Structure 1
Amino acid sequence: MADLPSNFDSWEHLQNTYMLEYNKRVDKFFSDVAGNGDLSNVRSSLKLACRLVDGDNQATWNLRTSLFFDVIGYSRKNLSIFYGSSIDTNLPVAGHPQLFLYFSQDSQAVPVNGKRLDHEKSCRLTRYASKSGQSLPAITKANLLEIATEIKQQFVSGGKGIVYTAGKVSVSYTDPANGFPRGGRWLVNSKSEAITLYTKLCNVVDRPFDINKINVNTPEKDSTTQVITATDTVLGKQYKESAYRPVANLRFRYAYVSFGSNISPIFLIDTTYRNTALLA
């Protein structure tokens, strides 16, 4: 092992190494943001606030790293921010793995003091069994990588998740034999958009799309488009009323597979970089 130089400063070396590796992770997390000095939107401002720079004092260093790891949540890698309730994931999935796709609003699109809208869509991977010993072949890592690659092709463009417009139109697709049991729905702004989304999902699971299995429900009530000012009072505290099926753009964020029981989900792809996924 080579001797260290006589002027070697272990503390300086530690700081420089930490700063280099830390900033790499910040840059990857904010890969959709160009440059490091733009304050034109929320994400670019957050990136600037998170990056360590030479000359930071200890207090600034602590605030930057706490903002990134604790407040934004990078330290929660391998923990899903949202993937259904424990009741949903612990129930059996009829012998087939269950694929989930998660969508949400961009942070800068959320109204001030508003709630970030999101949606999760799932289907069954009926080509595979959830475990060995069943009549169908058990799913393998190679199978999951193939599905992840198809998800990337169908739902990611230019390194970002594709966007669809949610609205009041409720569209379901019922095809139990091919992984779409009764009960699921996609809230969209038009029937054609739902057909596009279901077609993409059928391509992902390698099952045929049948337009005759689409069911559309368009309520007479209009979507809520204005800012909600009405409130409800519960136990003496006021809460804003929920918007009715608002029109909003939702972006694909990540996809994972659940095997039911107590098995942790396996993330296939994650554009937020919060979870370790099979496909980068």
Structure 2
Amino acid sequence: MSDTIDSTSLPDDFDPWEHLQKQYNTQHNLLVRKYFSDHDDNWVPNIGDPRSGLRTAVTMQDTDNDAIRSLRHNFFYDLLGYGRKNLLVYYGSKETIEPPVEGHPKIVFYFSQDSASVPSTQDYKADAEYSVRLMDLENTSTNLHSKLVEIANEIKTQFLEGKQGIILTKGNLGVIYKDPKHGFSNGRRILASTEADAIDIYRRMCNVIDAPFDEEKITIANPKKPSTVGNVTETQIIMGKTRKKRGYRRVVNVRFRYAYALIPGEPQPVFLIDTTYRYNPLVKI
């Protein structure tokens, strides 16, 4: 069977370019509508509202010329991240990143520095990632989806204030928590400026998975080397390019951004909640 279209079966006034544009606009706007699923069916453009303004900017119009259509496409797929949705980047063998505890999902909490607080002389954001294994739940559990929705709602309660993530001040202190029975099997470590800040995060994580928190399972690692203070000015040459050296355990604020579940046997992460609006989480904020 040939993929070539027989032009005799098309109307005499058929315009392939006009037809392509209309089909593209329709399919693009369906994806936009799904991405902005927090809006109701009677949504009306309102550029005074930040999120509504974003939807207005990426929605295709029949009157768009090629330049505007291309810009809307790039804005939606690249800047808002729809083109990267559900992609998982691997470095090295996939075999080496399989969860070490067979069958038990892992909940991952991601924090990063606010863009406005990153100095112009710094070429990367500070971030952090913490996780816990669900020891009372397996990947084949029939109630896995409902349990993840329940967990996502609790994350919303524990890690969001308003519609923004809570802030953790990173620092020099390594606060380790080891509780294999409840999913902290390898002695999870949080770098914080104070012991109390790290313990607060551990308590919230335990609340999310409905596990008891035992302060006696905390170990403190207080290195002699001090944190880097201020902007990093030292550089190094890597493959012919000048790169700034990373600061040592800088004191910096990072904000909770999103949480996702890694389920053994499921190749893609399941996003539970997301304050960046890049993903399609189980629970909206």
TM-score bin, normalised by smaller chain: 0.7 to 0.9
1:248 aligns with 2:256: no
Return the letter of the residue paired with 2:66.
Q
Whole-Å Cα distance in 2 between the matches of residues 13 and 235 of structure 1?
Answer: 47
List alignment gaps of at least 5 residues for structure 1.
Answer: 1-8, 30-34, 133-137
User: Is 1:194 aligned with 2:203?
Assistant: no
Question: Of 118, 131, 148, which residue of structure 1 is paired with 2:127?
Answer: 118
Letter in 2 for 1:188: A
Determine which of 89, 98, 115 is the counterpart of 1:90.
Answer: 98
Return closer, same or farther for 1:235/1:76 CA change in 2, 3 Å cut-off: closer
User: What is the CA distance between 1:233 and its match in structure 2?
Assistant: 1.6
Indicate if the aligned counterparts of 2:112 and 2:127 stay in contact, CA closer than 8 A. yes
- CA separation in 2, counterparts of 1:53 and 1:203? 43
**1:127 and 2:131 matched:** no
Residue 218 of structure 2 is aligned to residue 214 of structure 1: yes
SS in structure 2 of the partner of residue 276 of structure 1:
coil
Q: Note the alpha carbon deviations across 1:207-231, whole angstroms, 9 max, x for none.
A: 1001111111122322223222211
Kept after mapping to 2: 8 A contact 1:104/1:117: yes
User: Separation in 2 of the partners of 1:103 and 1:219?
Assistant: 23
One-letter amino acid of the structure 2 residue matched with residue 126 of structure 1: M
Shift of 1:22: 8.0
Matched, 1:68 2:72: no
Cα displacement (A) at 1:129: 2.2
Give the Cα separation in 1 of the matches to 2:179 and 2:92.
Answer: 22
Deviations 1:169-195 (A, max 9, x none): 111100111110124211111110011
Match of 2:42 in 1: none
Q: Is the 8 A contact 2:105 2:137 kept in 1?
A: yes
The separation in 1 between residues aligned to 2:254 and 2:33, in whole angstroms, is 28
**Partners of 2:116 and 2:206 in 1: CA distance:** 31
CA contact (8 A) 2:104 2:264 kept: no
Query: Within 1, Cα distance between the matches of 2:118 and 2:272?
Result: 27
Residue in 2 that maps onto 1:273 = 277
The equivalent position to 1:238 in structure 2, one of 227, 237, 242, is: 242
Calculate the TM-score normalised by the size of structure 1: 0.75
Q: Using a 3 Å threshold, how does the CA distance of structure 1 residues 28 and 279 change in structure 2: closer, same or farther?
A: closer
Q: Distance in 1 between matches of 2:92 and 2:117?
A: 23
RMSD over aligned Cα, in angstroms?
A: 3.7
Equivalent positions of 1:1-280 (< 5 A) are 36=47, 50=57, 57-79=65-87, 86=94, 89-112=97-120, 113-131=122-140, 139-261=143-265, 263-280=267-284
Structure 2 unaligned residues grouped into runs of 5+: 1-17, 39-45
- Provide, for residues 35-79 of structure 1, a one-character-per-residue CA deviation record: whole Å limited to 9, x for no partner: 8479xxxx99x9599556988653234224313322442322223
**Contact 2:179/2:185 (<8 A) preserved:** yes
SS in 2 for 1:141: helix
Instruction: Answer with 1 or 2: which has the greater Rg.
Output: 2
Q: Give aligned-pair identity as a percent.
A: 40
| Conservation of the 8 A alpha-carbon contact between 1:97 and 1:129 | yes
Closer, same or farther in 2 for the Cα pair 1:271/1:189, shift >3 Å?
Answer: same
Residues 247 and 93 of structure 1, relative CA distance in 2, 3 Å threshold: same
How far apart, in 1, do the equivalents of 2:179 and 2:278 lie? 33
SS of the residue corresponding to residue 255 of structure 2 reads strand
Preserved CA contact (<8 Å) 1:168 1:219: yes
How big is the shift at 1:17? 7.3
What is the letter of the counterpart of residue 98 of structure 2? N
Change beyond 3 A, Cα 1:19–1:146: closer
User: What's the secondary structure of 1:195's corresponding residue?
Assistant: helix
Structure 1 residue 81: deviation in Å? 7.8
Mapped contact 1:97–1:257 kept (Cα < 8 A): yes
2:5 — aligned with what?
none
In structure 2, the partner of 1:5 is: none
Aligned residues: 257
Task: Give TM-score, length-normalised by structure 2.
Answer: 0.74
Output the CA distance in 2 between the equivalents of 1:261 and 1:12: 40
